[in-house]
Structure 1
Amino acid sequence: MQVVAPLDQPRSVHRARKRLFVGLISVSCLVMCVFLALLWVVPYIGLDTIHPAAKWVLGALVIALIGLVCVAYWGLFLNIVTKKPLPGARRFRGLTIKLFLPLMVLLGRAIGIRKEHIMLSFISVNNELVLAEAGRYAPGEILLLMPHCLQNSRCDRRLTYDINNCVRCGKCPMAGLLELHDRYGVNLAIATGGTVARRIVVQLRPRLIIAVACYRDLSSGIQDTYPLPVFGVLNERPHGPCLDTTVSLPVVEKMLGRFIDPNKAKDGRTISTGQAAQS
C-alpha cells in the first residue's frame, strides 16, 4: 500500500484520485438534484387537490434545496481546485464527509468502482481540505495517533498500555515516532481500535490529528472525529494488513513542520492508551 499524502505520492496517482473524487461527487450532485426535482414533478398533478398553490410552494422548496446542493458542490469543487481556504471551508469538508461520501460509495458500487479507490480518493481530498483549512498550533495541541500494528509483532513490550515501554531498538517505526515526539513536543498515542482512538481524542482534546492507519480506519476515523481536522497518512503494509506495518517518517515530520506554530512553547506530552495523560 502506498502512502497517501500530497507531498510524497506520485503526482499522476494524486491527480487520478482527485479526478475520481471530483467525477463521483459531480455525478452525486446531479443525482441529488434530479431526485429533488422528482419530488416536485411526480406529485405535481395530485397537489392541485390540496390547494392550487401547493405545487408552487413545494416547487419553491425543492428549488431552494437544489440551490443549496449546488452551492455546496461548487464551494467544495473550487476548494479542491484552488487549494485555498475559501469561506465556509469547514462546512464544505463536513458536507463531503456527511453527505457526499455515503452517496459516492453507493454510486461507485452501482457502477463498479471499488470502495477502496473511493476511500483513497476521499482521504487524498480530505488532506488537501485540511491543509487549506487548518492553521498552526502549539505542539501540545497536535496528536500523532498511531495504529498498534506499527509495533513489531515479535516485540514483547506492551506499548498499547504504556508507550514509554518502548526500548527504541529500531526494529519498528515506534522508535522514530518517539524521536519526533521528543524533538517537537507533540502528543503521541497508539490506538488498538476505533473505540480506544475516540477515548484518546476525548481525553486529550487536540486541535489537530495526524493519523496513520489503513484506508478503512482512516476513512472511518475522519468521519468519526469531524469537525476536528484529521490529516491522514496511509501506512505501508509489506506483510499484509495489520502485521508489521510501517509509515514514512519523513512525511509525518513534514506535516509536523506544516502544522506546528514555531512561536509557541514546546509543551508536548506522551500518553499511553487507557491511562490519563502525563505531563
Structure 2
Amino acid sequence: MQVGTPLEQPRSVRRARKRLFVGLISIACFVICVLLGLLWLVPYVGLDNIHPAAKWVFGALVLGLVGLVCVAYWGLFLNIVTKKPLLGARRFRGLTIKLFLPLMVLLGRAFGIPKEHIMLSFISVNNDMVLAEAGRYAPGDILLLMPHCLQNSKCDRRLTYDINNCVRCGKCPLAGLLELHDKYGVNLAIATGGTIARRIVVQLRPRLIIAVACYRDLSSGIQDTYPLPVYGVLNERPHGPCLDTTVSLPTVEKMLDRFIDPTKAKDGRTVSTGQAAQA
C-alpha cells in the first residue's frame, strides 16, 4: 500500500485526520474528567467518617485535576487550530504523546477505528505542533534519520554500516538524500531499527529530527524521543512495507528550508549505524 507524505496529500485528507484526532482527544478528555468525578462520588459517604470536611477537600482536589485536564485540552486544541506557538506548547505536545495518545488508541479500538488512522492523525498533528514550536537551527543540530528500506533491495552496497559506500547511482532515494546533505550540511543517518535509531540520537544529540519511516515507526519514534521535536515524513511504499520504499525529496528539502538557520555554517556530517555503534 502506498502512503503519501502529509504535505503531498489532499488538504481534505489532512483536515479529516485532524478532525479524527480532535474528536478522539475530546472524548478522551471527557472520559478522564468523568473518571476523576467518580473518584469523588464513590467514597462520598465514607469520607464523612474521617472528617466532616474530608469529602469537600477531596472534591476540591478532584476539581483541580479536572481543571488541569481541561486547560491541557483547550491549550492543545488551540495549538492545533491556530498552528501558532502558545505558552507551554512543549507541554501540550508531551500530554498528547504521553497521556492522550494511549487513551485515543483504546477509544479507537472501542469504536472500531483502525489504529493506522489514529497513528496517521497523531503524526499530522504532531508535525503541526513541531512547526509551531520549533525555531531555526544550525545544520549540525538537525538530523535526517532514514530507514534502511529506502535502499534498493538489489543493491549489494552495505549502506547501513557506512552510508558513504553509496555510489549515488540514482536507483533509490539515498543518492538524493546525500545530495541534500552536501547542499545543506545536515547530519544524515540510516537506522535499521528503533534501538540503533536511539543510539544515533544519543550520539549526535540533535536539537531537531526530520525522520522518514512508516506510520508505526514514526509514531513510536516520536514517543521515544520526546521532548526532542521530531518532524515525521511518511515514506511511500509502492512495493509494500519494508521493500524498496521511497520518499518525496522535495518534501524533505522544504522542511530543511523551514528549520535551517541560513546564517549558520554548514557543519553537518553523515553517520551510519556502524559508526554510531563504535563511537
**TM-score normalised by length of structure 2:** 0.98
DSSP 3-state at the match of 1:172: coil
1:195 corresponds to which residue?
A: 195
**Alignment gaps of 5+ in structure 1:** none
DSSP 3-state at the match of 2:246: coil
**Alignment gaps of 5+ in structure 2:** none
1:124 corresponds to which residue?
A: 124
1:59 corresponds to which residue?
A: 59
1:4 corresponds to which residue?
A: 5
- Alpha-carbon deviation of 1:46? 1.1
Cα contact 1:143–1:208 (8 A) shared by 2: yes
Across the aligned residues of Structure 1 and Structure 2, the Cα RMSD in angstroms comes to: 1.1
DSSP 3-state at the match of 1:145: strand
Any runs of at least 4 consecutive aligned residues in structure 1 with deviations exceeding 4 A, and if so which? none
DSSP 3-state at the match of 1:4: coil
- State the AA in 1 paired with 2:135: G
Distance 2:5 2:16 in 1: 12
- State the AA in 2 paired with 1:151: Q
- Alpha-carbon deviation of 1:62? 0.3
Distance 1:276 1:58 in 2: 51
Cα contact 1:161–1:273 (8 A) shared by 2: yes
Q: Deviations over 1:158-189 (max 9, x none)?
A: 10000000000111000000000000000000
Matches for 1:67-216 after TM superposition, within 5 Å = 67-216=67-216
- State the AA in 1 paired with 2:61: L
Cα contact 1:270–1:277 (8 A) shared by 2: no
Cα contact 1:271–1:277 (8 A) shared by 2: no
Distance 1:133 1:240 in 2: 34
Cα contact 2:5–2:248 (8 A) shared by 1: no
**TM-score normalised by length of structure 1:** 0.98
Percent sequence identity over aligned pairs:
87
Cα contact 1:140–1:185 (8 A) shared by 2: yes
Cα contact 1:210–1:230 (8 A) shared by 2: yes
